[in-house]
Structure 1
Amino acid sequence: MASQTESSLTPTDRSSPSAVSNTNITVLPAPEQCERDLKQEAITIFLSGAIDKGSAIPWQDDVYQRLRSHPCLQQSFLSRPVVLFNPSRSDWDSTWIESPEFQPWHEQVTWELDKLAEADIVAVHLPATSQAPISMMEMSLVLGGGKQRLVVCCADKFWKRGNVEMMAERGHGKLVNNLDAMVTALVGAIQSVSIYKWGKLVSEEKTGK
């Protein structure tokens, strides 16, 4: 939650943070809101992870691109839209006071907490180069709720790797250590959500099975 130095996203392609849509996958940046119809029909994923003032790898863009090109999520297979909740915002100011009394910061944190609670799936990225305290708190909130599918990409040398392993096991989260495995797990989670919400795999909806 919200310091853009840790939890938020900084896309490398600045043309894509708002209303980016390919093969039914859309990126929704803070503080934008989903249209009601899209919100009801979509499978939603909250992206949580360190950016360390822009020095961390742009994993969020990588995940978006890999999901967009994944064969199981191509337009011909994916009838339900997928929305990636992106905590990044183009007007973020690092001088904002981190206090509930400061309206812009309050708006950001409120958006993150709301979208974290709304998401069907939460993806957490914990690299070895960051302590990622905000992402750890977000993961704890998800585990405490027990209602969402959690996918955690945690580096083997992350400073609290042991704690993450035990938390993921306790909360039945999927724990991986690389982005390839994370994307595979997210595709599986998308399919699971589709079955849970609508009783069908996304590919079955297209074929009418």
Structure 2
Amino acid sequence: MASKQDTAAQGTPVSGGTASQHTTPPKPSADAEDAAKDKKPGTVSIDQDVEDKDHQLPPHPEPLPPQHPSFIHCMPPKNPAITKNKHSVFLAGSIEMGNAVQWQPHMVKRLHHLPITVCNPRRGHWNTSIIPAKDDMDFKTQVEWELKALDDVTVVCFFFDHNTRSPVTMLELGLLAEKHKVVVCCDKRFWKSGNIHIVCGKYGIPYCETFEGLVGLIMKELKKNDLDVDENGKLLSEPSSAD
């Protein structure tokens, strides 16, 4: 079983240490498998297994609840299917060209029992010939996909892998700090954790230091937006259809 969920108040850290057990990332989603089939020369996998040497990801609860029929896992370049569900979550956080721990598929598994859309920017493969410049259409498509999804979703969750630098993740947090839909997980071992925690405190952003705590913060934010879930994330009633 997963460790007891952390609880958090806005702008205050959640107590609780780092998970003590190693866990293997879940099987890639159908979207990731499709991306793998389409892999072309000159691309790198960002869905490769990454050793969770510091045990940042806790084991999943057993058994995991089944996937909800309305659950959608959306990755670029597919158009974010946000309007099909009333509630949605963007997985903002460390990728580092595939060197960050596989926290995104781990989170997808923790949310897939809900009638929500999860927007995950960690696409299966990345073409190494893409130039990070506004004139590169592939790069521009990826960035614009992320910006649109960040604007449109109900909740944006940030996870900082403490073994990464994650400059884009910090940029996105700064961009959204004044929005009232952000939750953050940042361990003290992250190289700029002090900056992250101060920003969260200033803008009243709920934050924690463990993945399990982040799951709880997402559930609280969804509940604030009228998704009927209990403190453990169990769906109590189906939401009304999206407008």
TM range (shorter): 0.7 to 0.9
Larger helix fraction of residues? 1
1:35-60 CA-to-partner distances (Å, cap 9, x unmatched) read 5xx61642111111112232221011
The Cα of 1:166 is off from its aligned counterpart by 1.3
- Structure 1 residue 182, shift from structure 2 partner: 0.7
Retained in 1: the 8 A contact 2:95–2:122?
no
- Please say if 1:138 is aligned against 2:182: no
* Partner secondary structure for residue 194 of structure 1: coil
Q: Write the distance in 1 (CA, Å) between the matches of 2:226 and 2:190.
A: 32
Quote how far apart the aligned CAs of 1:91 are.
4.8
CA distance in 2, matches of 1:110, 1:82: 22
Q: Aligned letter for 1:32?
A: K
For 1:183, which of 215, 218, 221 is the aligned residue? Answer: 215
Contact 2:186/2:193 (<8 A) preserved: yes
Structure-1 residue corresponding to 2:87: 43
Query: Shift of the alpha carbon at 1:101?
Result: 0.9
1:1-209 to 2 correspondence within 5 Å? Answer: 13-17=27-31, 22-23=67-68, 24-35=70-81, 39=83, 41-68=85-112, 74=113, 81-144=115-178, 146=179, 148-194=180-226, 203-205=236-238
- The CA deviation string for residues 97-156 of structure 1, in whole angstroms up to 9 with x for no partner, is 111111111111111111111111111111221111100011111114x2x411111011
**Gapped runs of 5+ residues in structure 2?**
1-24, 34-65, 230-234
TM-score of the aligned structures, taking structure 1 as reference length: 0.75
How big is the shift at 1:12? 5.8
Task: Give the partner amino acid of 2:118.
Answer: L
| Cα shift at 1:18 | 6.3
Equivalent pairs counted in the alignment come to: 178
Aligned-pair Cα RMSD in Å: 2.6
Compared with structure 1, are the counterparts of its residues 125 and 118 closer, same or farther at alpha carbon in structure 2 (3 Å cutoff)?
same
What TM-score, normalized to structure 2?
Answer: 0.65
Give the secondary structure class of the aligned counterpart of 1:188.
helix
